Amino acid sequence: MEKFTKITGVAAPLPIVNIDTDMIIPKQFLKTIKRTGLGKALFHEMRTNDDGSVNEDFILNKPAWKNAQILVAGDNFGCGSSREHAPWAIADFGIKCIISTSFADIFYSNCFKNGILPIKLPQEDVDKLMEDAKRGANATITVDLENQTICGPDGGKISFEIDPHRKHCLLNGLDDIGLTLQKASAIESFEAKQADNHSWL
C-alpha cells in the first residue's frame, strides 16, 4: 500500500449528504476483484447522462477538479452496503483524502485499508473547506497527516483527530497484510517450533 504523508492539491466540493456506496460505484461494476480500472466508474450515475455521454455539470468532470486528490463531502459519506469496491474506485480515480462531518463505519475502516485518509471535522470547518474547494485551482489545500493539520489557501489551519494505530499504518503504507508480514520472523519461528513439537500435525 502506498504511504500517505502529506498532499497538496485541489479539493473537489461535493455538498451532498448520505452519499451511499451504490452512488460511489453502482452494482454493475462489482464483477471484478481487481482494484484497478474502477476509477472510471466512480460516481458513474452522476458523471454520465442517460445516453452515456459525459455530464459536464458534475464536479469531477469539470476541468478545475477532474484531477482532484481531495474530496470535501456532505454528512454520512459512504453509507449503504459495505462494498469494498467503493474505496477501490475512489483510490483508483486518484482521490487520497475525503473530508466530511461523518462516515459510515465500514466505509471509514475500508478507507484506511486502501490508503485513503478519511477526516472527520465539525460542520463549520467542513463548510469553510467546501467554500475553499469551490474556488478550484486557485485554492489548493494541504493535508499533513503527520502533524494532523489541514492548511487552506488563505493560510488558515485546521487540526483533526485520528486513531494513532491507523495513522501509523497510513504513514508507513501498511494494510492488514503488511501488518502481518511485520511479524514474519515470529510466525516462522512459531511454525518451526510447532512442527518440532507436534510433528504428527
Q: Are 171 and 5 in contact (CB under 8 A)?
A: yes
Determine the CATH number of domain 6-197.
3.20.19.10
Q: Is the pLDDT of residue 44 over 70?
A: yes
Q: Is the pLDDT of residue 49 over 80?
A: yes
Pick the more confident residue, 191 or 67: 67
List CB contacts of 104: < 8 A, sequence separation 6 or more.
21, 76, 77, 78, 79, 80
Distances (CA, A) of 90 to 112, 151, 194: 12, 22, 42
Q: What is the rounded average pLDDT of the residues 148-152?
A: 96
Q: What is the rounded average pLDDT of the residues 45-65?
A: 94
List CB contacts of 27: < 8 A, sequence separation 6 or more.
none
> What average pLDDT is seen over the chain?
91
Q: What is the rounded average pLDDT of the residues 176-197?
A: 67
Q: Which residue bears the cell 455521454? A: 53
Q: What is the rounded average pLDDT of the residues 76-89?
A: 94
Residue 166 has a pLDDT of 96
Residues in the chain: 201
Distances (CA, A) of 28 to 41, 87, 139, 196: 10, 16, 35, 50
Q: Is the pLDDT of residue 142 over 80?
A: yes
In sequence order, the β-bridge partners of residue 1 are: none
Tens-digit pLDDT profile for residues 112-137 = 999 999 999 999 999 999 999 999 88
